[in-house]
């Protein structure tokens, strides 16, 4: 008899809602019958850790996984489950497209436990969740009309929800606006800059095709016509000068004529070192900067919380 894989044992553990004691009881009973079907509990927990995306940020009242890390991890896990499908392809698969949806929801009246918050206004009675749900995985681009190699069997079930952010806050108009997929002040800035004949380019870890689709389908409508061009990290990392030099060359401008916006302090530092003007967009919902980066940025200098702060100066 073949031993059960760690992933399959993890599935059993989760679907059966087994405790550590219950799982070990089943495994030990099998061992008494000379069966090594079940892997040890430590191996199962190791497999569980492999299900987590990288760079999870934790604060006292919230937890967040960077969206790109979550998307990358989701695709990697789905591809891993489709090994046999990959082997059936005669040609190499050059493009993989993940179609997803996202949503937000909140609830109140949760049971409060004896957890003491440093923030005296914080409470565990309300929770607000932003989640991603994978729908289809297509080998090829969207316009090539390939058949989906994986499809979510229950797209409306919370089973496949992958949390982007969890917050101990009550549902409110403010939090709903904060979690929107594109900020209204960013759209306002795009429209004003377009009217002033200023060229706007995007530079993202997401592919160019993904960026185009994103800006065409925001909750505030199609804003792709305000963007001159799209760049991804195939031209170079946003932490090095190679990519910035490529953009300057493509736009036919000197680095000093470009203003680079980002919510990632390390990218701001890199852009400044490469000769660009750089401004950190530090939304209230973002996680605190590390002290070394704050010192480099000079705290308030080169930092905004909304594009409305600079529109009057543009």
Nearest Cα neighbor of 311 from 181, 187, 182, 174 is 187
If pLDDT is split at 50, 70 and 90, which confidence band does 151 have?
very high
Reported as a single tens digit per residue, the pLDDT across 44-80 is: 999 999 999 988 988 888 899 988 899 999 999 998 8
Burial bucket for residue 65 (CB in 10 Å: 0-12, 13-18, 19+):
buried
Q: Residue 18: what pLDDT?
A: 96
Q: Looking at the predicted structure, is the pLDDT value of residue 115 above 80?
A: no
Structural domains of the chain, with CATH: 6-50 (no CATH), 57-171 (no CATH), 184-310 (3.40.50.1000)
Residues 283-291 have a mean pLDDT of 50
Spacing of C-alpha 287 from chain mean position = 14
Measured between alpha carbons, how far is residue 280 from residues 10, 45, 67, 289, 298 in Å?
Answer: 42, 39, 18, 11, 11
Collapse the DSSP code of 86 into the 3-class scheme (helix H, G, I; strand E, B; otherwise coil) and give the result. helix
DSSP string of 111-174? PP-SPPPSSTT--SS-EEEEEEEEEEEEES-GGGTPPEEEE-S-TTSGGG-EEEEEE-----HH
- The mean predicted confidence, pLDDT, of the chain is 84
Q: Residue 237: what pLDDT?
A: 92
Span of 13-22, 54-63, 231-240, 290-299 with lowest mean pLDDT: 290-299
Reported as a single tens digit per residue, the pLDDT across 164-199 is: 999 888 877 677 666 666 678 899 999 999 999 999
Distance CA 223, CA 192 (A): 12
């Amino acid at each position: 008899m073949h031993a059960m894989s760690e992933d399959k044992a993890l599935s059993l553990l989760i679907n059966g809602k087994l405790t550590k004691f219950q799982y070990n009881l089943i495994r030990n009973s099998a061992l008494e019958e000379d069966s090594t079907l079940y892997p040890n509990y430590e191996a199962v927990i190791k497999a569980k850790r492999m299900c987590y995306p990288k760079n999870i940020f934790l604060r006292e009242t919230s937890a967040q996984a960077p969206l790109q890390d979550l998307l990358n991890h989701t695709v990697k896990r789905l591809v891993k489950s489709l090994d046999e499908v990959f082997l059936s392809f005669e040609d190499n698969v050059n493009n993989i497209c993940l179609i997803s949806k996202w949503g937000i929801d909140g609830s109140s009246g949760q049971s409060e436990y004896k957890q003491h918050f440093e923030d005296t206004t914080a409470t565990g009675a309300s929770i607000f969740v932003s989640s991603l749900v994978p729908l289809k995985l297509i080998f090829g681009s969207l316009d090539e009309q390939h058949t989906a190699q994986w499809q979510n069997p229950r797209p409306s079930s919370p089973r496949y929800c992958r949390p982007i952010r969890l917050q101990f806050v009550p549902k409110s108009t403010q939090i709903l606006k904060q979690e929107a997929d594109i900020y209204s002040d960013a759209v306002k800035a795009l429209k004003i800059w377009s009217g002033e004949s200023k060229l706007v380019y995007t530079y993202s870890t997401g592919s160019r095709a993904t960026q185009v689709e994103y800006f065409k389908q925001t909750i505030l409508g199609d804003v792709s016509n305000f963007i001159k061009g799209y760049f991804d990290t195939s031209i170079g990392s946003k932490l090095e000068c190679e990519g910035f030099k490529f953009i300057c060359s493509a736009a036919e401008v000197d680095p000093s004529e470009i203003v680079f916006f980002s919510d990632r302090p390390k990218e701001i530092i890199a852009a400044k070192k490469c000769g660009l003007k750089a401004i950190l967009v530090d939304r209230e919902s973002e996680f605190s900067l590390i002290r070394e980066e704050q010192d480099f940025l000079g705290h308030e200098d080169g930092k905004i919380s909304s594009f409305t702060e600079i529109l009057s100066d543009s």
